Chain A
């Protein structure tokens, strides 16, 4: 593996740490994120609850860990669902040209006509609080970016002598795609995907905060902030925790994408 710039290494470290927290946290907490002990409502951090208990006496550690896992997984699935079709369609458009390219570009322009969040919001409105419309909306709004970049880069690569030579020599489309095109596209698409992952984490938590994303009682970083907001005076730290995790996840993704290079 190539040596990463310090900023990117820090980003990777943050993501790995959060993934570890999300995957190991539920085991560490040893508690059900939905289990309520009302007598422990708003218990401060201590030996019983490492990070305290929320207004319903649920373990904050367990809820934060589950919410972190949910955010990262949903964001990763969303990004994969946007990046893989987007990239393949971009290469297809550059490869085939003609009406295939025209139609795909038109579809991309149609998606870009609206701000992404508006599209996600309209789709999420079909079933507020469920994963599917949220996921579909984010994937639908997201594929365009990969499509445009992949199309532009692939049409450049397809005109390069070594690619033309390979095609003239009779190497099949599979070889050209896997050996010649994708390796050239991957670094740029990786940056896009890391950045898109941050945007997805932000969008999911923001929509859930407004009440149009994932609903309680599922532990989600944005909706946890909403739930705890009325108790901000008694337990300011607890309102801060979920938002801080969103911040760390997005920061990690942005740093990994190389944003700190300037």
Chain B
């Protein structure tokens, strides 16, 4: 490995590290401002949330205030928060008193499991359709997938989920509408997420396949006598994969957004659901922790996309160094 090929991987990694730092700073600052913007005396609210509405008296509030250091100047509290964030100490939930990191690791498992099922499922649904459509641009398959994709992308994710629950749980009774124990519980949330993502990836795959199929180098590969198999596999697929992989990054914004929506809809005990709940409960450390985790998932997955791009297309990496 020469210097050049090392730089090819180092530069995107550095860029993503900067992004991760930005995520931490933005989420931290917003979370802190969120805490400061809460109406009323926070100590009373938290005492009531923690000990029940009847026990939320002045003594309990004073206890909470002292325990959480809520009486210090806001600048000190902010520096304190940033310092703890850098040590990955995310604090305790203001409602349950549990360490945020502990709750997060449990939720992270559920979120990653859901994403891990939904992403391959979306690839399975979207990519073959896109491939078929791209091989004959303007043909019936192309028109059908275009129509499906346009319709699907206009349906709000929550409505799609509700529709799937109505059909498969309520009318047909095949699948449970909620829960998270076995594989049957995975199907509807993962399908809701995957359909939305597939609507986009099918079009991306279709466009890149169409461009590659019409390109001169494909014709040349045939002229020089390569067997059709080698033409498609060696020259076709790899070139068609480049924009698909690059646009995966775009799709992954949709993944994180979709996770928040789908988890809330299906009461899936993942990070997105926890974030929405924490916002309702004004549980700021949990809001910060979950938002940070979702932001970092986004960065991490983007880093993988960068890496895949560099592997699929050496030209791009060379141009970047």
Contacts and interface: CB of A to CB of B under 8 A. Distances in A.
Nearest to A236: B166
Interface in B252-281: 253, 256-257, 260-261, 264, 275-276, 279-280
Contacts of B34: 122, 125-126
Interface in B1-57: 19, 22-23, 26-27, 30-31, 33-34, 37
Nearest to A248: B154
B22 A110 contact: yes
Among A115, A119, A123, the one with the most B-chain Cβ atoms within 10 Å of its Cβ is A115
B85 to A, nearest CB: 15
B260 A117 contact: yes
A207 to B, nearest CB: 9
Interface residues of B toward A: which range?
35 or more
B159 interface: yes
Contact of A118 (B155, B203, B295): B295
Contact of A115 (B142, B159, B253): B253
Contacts of B162: 225, 229, 239, 243
B295 A114 contact: yes
User: For the side of the interface on A, what is the size category?
Assistant: 35 or more
A57 interface: no
Contacts of A222: 156, 158
A260 interface: yes
A212 B279 contact: yes
A202 B156 contact: yes
A216 B30 CA distance: 26
B153 interface: yes
Contacts of A84: none
Contact of B159 (A110, A243, A255): A243
A210 B261 contact: yes
Nearest to A255: B150
Interface in A119-173: 119, 121-128
Contacts of B154: 198, 247-248, 250-251, 254
B289 to A, nearest CB: 12
B302 to A, nearest CB: 10
Nearest to B158: A209
A114 B280 contact: no
Contact of B295 (A113, A232, A247, A251): A113
B118 interface: no
Contacts of A26: none
Contact of A109 (B22, B33, B166): B22
Given A122-B30, A251-B151, A117 B256 contact: yes
B287 interface: yes
B156 A250 contact: yes
Given A125-B34, A254-B153, A212 B257 contact: no
Nearest to A252: B154
B150 A254 contact: yes
Interface string A218-262: 000010010001001000100100010011101100110001101
8 contacts: A115-B253, A116-B253, A122-B287, A212-B280, A243-B155, A248-B154, A250-B155, A251-B154
Interface of A: 109-110, 113-119, 121-128, 198, 202, 205-206, 209-212, 222, 225, 229, 232, 236, 239, 243, 246-248, 250-251, 254-255, 259-260, 262
Given A125-B279, A246-B159, A260-B150, 11 more contacts: A110-B22, A113-B295, A115-B253, A118-B260, A122-B30, A124-B279, A125-B34, A206-B156, A225-B162, A243-B158, A247-B159
